[in-house]
């Protein structure tokens, strides 16, 4: 072990312990220790942006609580962010504010959703945000603390404590922190923010509401059709089916992206191939009691349920073949992770598509909302 406690700056350790215990007693944490924050320390975060500290970034009407720039940055400091991360945290909240589900209380839901951030552009290098190996894991301060800043504000500003306003039945590790960068440098395609009309020189944050991240082990093939089928089969598993339609983000490692690109496939080709394969038979859905939808919520349930109504497919020429995605835009594609193995992932997005054309929201870092 290379750490030497004696070499650390000399401080009053007992006072630090007291501060940490005080913050924990006030329930200002996510269960892990936080960084004590003073007004002088917070000033460094506020100085990193030209935004008014009292500007409201996000409001949840039914809770009658608002997140200001100052409150967002207090929680960024608590999370362990560096002051230079402030514009990213602010842009993340502006993207989240465009999402309809958080404002309606999805973060309080038994479903156990979490915010998920994808960062694009030069800011990744500037702040050391990881986009290559171990993107969902530990080891990079920017990823860990920017995602954590969002969670701490959910707790401290909106009161979303587990067993209280947060009623998640099981939740997800993403509730601690979920922030990755796109591996633009090893992608064979244009980066995600360029696909959305931004310049390559711009930096952006894209926000999703997610339920889980599922890894796809596919080291066995160089055939793009086989790889597309592997992704489709993962998306169409019945346990993931909640609403009439679902959405997914494909996070391809460079190796898998190259399989597609070397075969001449664009991102749109990947999207279309997966979309066309995400279907189930009516019998498959009936076997798990998901062959109809609720009149009230459009959640899947059995055709025998008193609240059930036929799903959209029932009135078509092929009622026994049920598409589980409403449109190709239900599938989004980015490249992230190391170029050392064929292990990609499917991020299960909670946002229903339609009614939204795109199951995400994107915000430019440093821009006014």
- Taking the CB of residue 253, how many other CB atoms lie within 10 A of it? 26
In a domain, 195, yes or no: yes
What mean pLDDT do residues 253-270 have? 98
Name the 3-class secondary structure at 39: helix
Q: Give yes or no for a contact between 207 and 98, defined as CB atoms under 8 angstroms apart.
A: yes
In a domain, 143, yes or no: yes
188 Cβ contact list (under 8 Å, min separation 6): 254, 257, 258, 260, 261, 262, 335
In a domain, 20, yes or no: yes
In a domain, 309, yes or no: no
What mean pLDDT do residues 108-122 have? 95
pLDDT tens-digit readout, 222-239: 999 999 999 999 999 999
Is the pLDDT at 13 greater than 70, yes or no? yes
What mean pLDDT do residues 207-212 have? 94
73 Cβ contact list (under 8 Å, min separation 6): 42, 45, 46, 49, 53, 86, 89, 90
What is the number of domains present in the chain?
1
278 Cβ contact list (under 8 Å, min separation 6): 232, 235, 236, 323, 324, 325, 331
In a domain, 141, yes or no: yes
Confidence of residue 356 (pLDDT cuts 50, 70, 90): confident
pLDDT tens-digit readout, 59-96: 999 999 999 999 999 999 999 999 999 999 999 999 99
In a domain, 299, yes or no: no
**Average pLDDT, rounded, for the chain:** 93
Strand partners, 292: 301
CA 5 to chain centre: 36
pLDDT tens-digit readout, 307-332: 999 988 876 778 899 999 999 999 99
In a domain, 314, yes or no: no
Instruction: Residue 21: give the domain boundaries.
Output: 12-278+324-364
């Amino acid at each position: 072990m290379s750490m030497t406690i004696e070499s650390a700056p000399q401080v009053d350790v007992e006072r630090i312990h007291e501060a940490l215990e005080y913050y924990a007693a006030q329930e200002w944490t996510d269960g892990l220790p936080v960084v004590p924050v003073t007004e002088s320390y917070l000033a460094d975060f506020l100085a990193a942006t030209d935004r008014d500290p009292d500007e409201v970034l996000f409001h949840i009407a039914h809770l009658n609580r608002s997140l200001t720039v100052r409150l967002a940055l207090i929680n960024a400091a608590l999370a362990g962010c560096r002051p230079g991360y402030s514009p990213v945290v602010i842009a993340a909240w502006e993207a989240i504010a465009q999402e309809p589900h958080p404002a309606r209380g999805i973060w309080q839901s038994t479903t156990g959703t979490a915010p998920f951030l994808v960062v694009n552009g030069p800011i990744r290098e500037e702040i050391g945000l990881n986009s290559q190996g171990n993107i969902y894991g530990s080891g990079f301060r920017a990823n860990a603390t920017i995602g954590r800043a969002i969670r701490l504000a959910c707790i401290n500003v909106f009161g979303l404590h587990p067993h209280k306003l947060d009623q998640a039945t099981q939740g997800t590790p993403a509730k601690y922190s979920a922030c990755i960068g796109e591996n633009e440098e090893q992608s064979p395609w244009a980066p995600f923010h360029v696909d959305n009309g931004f310049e390559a020189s711009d930096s952006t944050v894209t926000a999703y509401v997610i339920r889980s991240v599922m890894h796809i082990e596919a080291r066995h093939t160089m055939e793009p059709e086989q790889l597309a089928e592997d992704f489709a089969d993962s998306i169409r598993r019945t346990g993931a089916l909640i609403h009439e339609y679902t959405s997914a983000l494909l996070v391809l490692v460079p190796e898998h992206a190259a399989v597609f690109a070397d075969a001449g496939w664009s991102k749109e080709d990947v999207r279309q191939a997966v979309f066309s394969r995400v279907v189930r038979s009516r019998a498959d859905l009936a076997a798990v009691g998901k062959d109809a939808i609720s009149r009230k919520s459009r959640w899947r349930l059995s055709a025998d349920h008193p609240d059930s109504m036929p799903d959209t497919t029932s009135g078509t020429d092929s009622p026994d073949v049920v598409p589980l995605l409403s449109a190709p835009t239900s599938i989004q594609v980015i490249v992230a992770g190391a170029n050392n193995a064929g292990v990609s992932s499917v991020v299960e997005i909670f946002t229903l598509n339609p009614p939204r054309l795109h199951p995400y929201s994107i915000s430019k870092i440093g821009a006014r909302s």
